[in-house]
Amino acid sequence: MSGDHSHNEDQVMLKVFYNHKDKYKEREHKHKDHKKDKEREKSKYGNSDHKDSSDKKHRDKEKEKMKHKDGSTDKYKEKHKEKRKEEKSLDERIKKEKENGFASPPYMKSEPEHDFYHSPKHEKTLKRERDDDNEVQNWSSVFAVISLYVFVKDFKSKKTKHKKEEVTDGKKKAKKEPEEKWKWWEEERYTDGVKWKFLEHKGPVFAPPYEPIPSNVKFYYDGKHMKLSPGAEEVATFFAKMLEHEYTTKDIFRKNFFKDWRKEMTSEERAKITDLKKCDFTEMSEYFKAQSEARKSMSKEDKQKIKEENERILQEYGFCIMDNHKERIANFRIEPPGLFRGRGDHPKMGMLKRRIRPEDIIINCSKDSKVPEPPRGTKWKEVRHDNKVTWLVSWTENIQGSIKYIMLNPSSRIKGEKDWQKYETARRLKKCVDHIRAQYRDDWKSKEMRIRQRAVALYFIDKLALRAGNEKEEGETADTVGCCSLRVEHIKLYPENEGQEYVVEFDFLGKDSIRYYNKVPVEKRVFKNLQLFMENKEPDDDLFDRLNTSILNKHLQELMDGLTAKVFRTYNASITLQQQLKELTTAEDNIPAKILSYNRANRAVAILCNHQRAPPKTFEKSMQNLQSKIDAKRDQLADAKRELKSAKADAKVRKDEKSKKAVESKKKAVQRVEEQLMKLEVQATDREENKQIALGTSKLNYLDPRISVAWCKKWGIPVEKIYNKTQREKFAWAIDMADDDYEF
């Protein structure tokens, strides 16, 4: 967790911040020019009392808008209006038909029958269920619908493919493109807090039971061999497996581990093993290393077998049926026992994460679904049917006492809808951000301390994309902060620094104990306020002592429906991407150069959001490799040019067709090599700039995918160059709906 920025990186960072600041100024300017707009906005949002009825009406209206149509998608929705009309009437028909509360489908698509996926497994289940009179009706109707309309994730299964082809052949060939994906974004959403109407799954996959190590792999205490009881041995292996890791050198880790380990020992063991330093795990560690080596060098067939088994488990447990669609589950495996690996200086690192048993598990599914079977001889803690939540399985973890969940994959409807909604909220912020900014600037002058604090904090959240900063229980987690929980010790004020006025230096550990370091010039008022907030305080006192996240969010909620601190991060990230893309993309550039521009825009966002990574272990080496490739390519280019030159000379003398052709082909060769060289150089630049910056987090969580999709469409870049397969699945909605002129 270094987080130490080099000078260079600081500059990059500052550059982006300055950019940001300039843009902000620009916006302010615009703001002045549009006083009328401002006035309108003001009346729209009010400025003191937000509880007046017109305001409420407005908010309700906004809410309504969000529910049914999102500004951006007007055009898009229009496209599908017709279709939906059709579907809706069907919907109603079906609703009337099924009123017994089970998985009645929202509607049925008028898809050709041959387009369905009928897994052999379903057939089986269906047959089994037919034996049960009570359920026959439910099941047959459910499956009738499912068969008509199941979202098919993977058609690769041979049987299915075969079946499908048969049917397709029997009917018209028109529907050749088979992978018809379910476009949930073309459908109505639930608006009443209901997350689903039907949910069925097979429950979690438990961690494999402990396999004792062979008796020749020994554990030594104080130099003497000691056979451990199975319970103590298992925990010992957890430590042994981590022996190479830095964790095991840390005092807290060792202390916590030892304490928990002793709890698992028999009383004899406990009496004997009193000092971790005297424990010798090396044989165990070697054994596991050898095992993983063996796994690597397994025969192809064996590897294939394992792969097939994993695939089987995935097929059985990795999917659920939610509202007539087969959806992928994200984490269907229960976390195996082990030693807790908290990040940063976590006071609980090294503690034993205990094994989760069926008795710890709460299953969530619909009443009319087939409840998953617990492993033989066990039972679930509870089975509930709560369709106001999205999780399938939950358990309480023993380190922090928090609840863990099994939920759906990001490609699922339930996650996608939420994600889409998130960006729509951010776009609504775009519409009123000028007003909000004007307001908090005004609040810097407030007579009330709490309001000034709120306004300065909000300024940081907006300008620097800081996280909200909830309070944390002391001693339970690593000491990290966000905006509202900043302490006096985390900032330094410089009336003047390196030629700039009113500079604030931030230095603190944020989420995941990643260091945030930044020097920013701020407005005089902010600076003066900060001086005031810090007066007569100790370094470990709260900077904003009259503020917390719930006060801040309550305030934001009044400014805009659905507005919270984190919306600013989404908004600023997405708007920055859009602006940077506009700024950096050059029409004349070729595709690799354009992609470099994209990555740079993405990088600007990652820097803004402080998304860091440890430089890859192989970084230097891979850079060297790339450099030697570049050198080789340069040599090749020189050769090609030489050859072209001589060919030209040759052609001048001979003046025949053959030599002219030779010149042409040499020219082309030069061009080709030049292109290759450029590609490599671009790659090197990209990689170098990316050394400590993680692009993935912002790409996945902060950047409205429609911006990227639109950019791809506009410049003719294949979307595969920007999003890999998983990302394309997650953003299928955006890829489908964004046109090249999409504006965030």
Partner DNA sequence: GAAAACACTTAGTATTACTCAA
Partner DNA sequence: TTGAGTAATACTAAGTGTTTTC
Alpha-carbon distance of 87 to 110, in angstroms, equals 8
**Ordered strands of the 500-509 beta sheet:** 491-497, 500-509, 515-521
For residue 308, the minimal CB distance to DNA (Å) is 11
For residue 702, the minimal CB distance to DNA (Å) is 6
Whose Cβ is closer to DNA: residue 273's or residue 481's? 481
Structural tokens at position 146: 């499912």
**Which residues, other chains included, contact 385 with Cβ-Cβ below 8 Å and sequence gap of 6+?**
364, 365, 366, 367
Alpha-carbon distance of 185 to 180, in angstroms, equals 14
Whose Cβ is closer to DNA: residue 254's or residue 472's? 472
Residue 534 in contact with residue 488, Cβ under 8 Å? yes
**Which residues, other chains included, contact 178 with Cβ-Cβ below 8 Å and sequence gap of 6+?**
115, 155, 164, 168
Whose Cβ is closer to DNA: residue 259's or residue 554's? 554
How many CB atoms sit inside 10 A of residue 258's CB?
Answer: 17
Whose Cβ is closer to DNA: residue 415's or residue 492's? 415
- Which residue among the candidates 45, 702, 723, 742 is catalytic per the annotation? 702
Phi-psi region of 499 (alpha: psi -120 to 50; beta: other; left: phi over 0): left
Q: Residue 423 is which amino acid?
A: Y
Alpha-carbon distance of 653 to 13, in angstroms, equals 58
Structural tokens at position 638: 């020189």
Whose Cβ is closer to DNA: residue 109's or residue 730's? 730
The two beta strands, 362-364 and 382-384, are parallel
Alpha-carbon distance of 9 to 391, in angstroms, equals 41
**Ordered strands of the 393-396 beta sheet:** 382-384, 362-364, 393-396, 403-406
Structural tokens at position 191: 């608006």
For residue 646, the minimal CB distance to DNA (Å) is 27
Active site residue 459: no
Cα 99 from chain centre: 39
For residue 559, the minimal CB distance to DNA (Å) is 13
- What distances in angstroms separate CA 160 from CA 147, 182, 498, one per listed residue? 13, 18, 68
Residue 511 in contact with residue 472, Cβ under 8 Å? no
For residue 691, the minimal CB distance to DNA (Å) is 12
Whose Cβ is closer to DNA: residue 148's or residue 329's? 329
For residue 694, the minimal CB distance to DNA (Å) is 4
How many CB atoms sit inside 10 A of residue 285's CB?
Answer: 19
Q: Which residue has the tokens 């000379």?
A: 649
For residue 452, the minimal CB distance to DNA (Å) is 19
For residue 147, the minimal CB distance to DNA (Å) is 27
Handedness of CA 306, 307, 311, 314 (dihedral sign): positive
Whose Cβ is closer to DNA: residue 139's or residue 395's? 395
Cα 537 from chain centre: 38
Whose Cβ is closer to DNA: residue 160's or residue 398's? 398
Residue 513 in contact with residue 496, Cβ under 8 Å? no
Structural tokens at position 68: 């049914």
**Which residues, other chains included, contact 506 with Cβ-Cβ below 8 Å and sequence gap of 6+?**
464, 490, 491, 516, 517, 518, 519, 520
For residue 231, the minimal CB distance to DNA (Å) is 20
Whose Cβ is closer to DNA: residue 565's or residue 669's? 565
Which residues does the annotation mark as catalytic? 702
